[in-house]
Amino acid sequence: MPTINIEADVPIDVLVKAVEQLRGAELRQFTAQVLALNAKRMAPSVTQEEAALLLRINNPLPANVQRRFDELIVKRDAETLDDEEHAELLRLTQQVEAFDVARLEALAKLASLRGVILSDLMRQLEIRPFADARG
């Protein structure tokens, strides 16, 4: 994981410049952690169950899986996948979909616990709809 050296008292614009150095999975992981922090601050007295759900919701797809999935999608779009890569893409697609289903189940459970509808919870947590979340 890359590290970014920063001073102790960092203006927001300098922090943003530091975050600009992150790429791909590291940027998604950082974003997930910032969203989790924001959610925690918005609801500082969450139950242990809510905290566990928030961790599941904000846990990103493993970087190696996301990276390979993205690579194969590019090759698929360019129509350069061979048979082995096509089979791998199908397996990864199932894995990504299962990951998204688990995340959606956690979101639905959290919405139920908080007595709000799913779309309102997603708006509160600043989570994009799943159709918009992946390229």
What digits encode the pLDDT tens for the residues 11-25?
888 888 888 898 888
**Between residues 35 and 4, which one has the greater pLDDT?**
35
Measured between alpha carbons, how far is residue 19 from residues 10, 53, 102 in Å? 12, 26, 28
The answer to whether 100 and 130 have CB atoms below 8 angstroms apart is yes
| pLDDT at residue 9 tops 90 | no
Q: Among 35, 104, 100, which residue's Cα sits nearest to residue 65?
A: 100
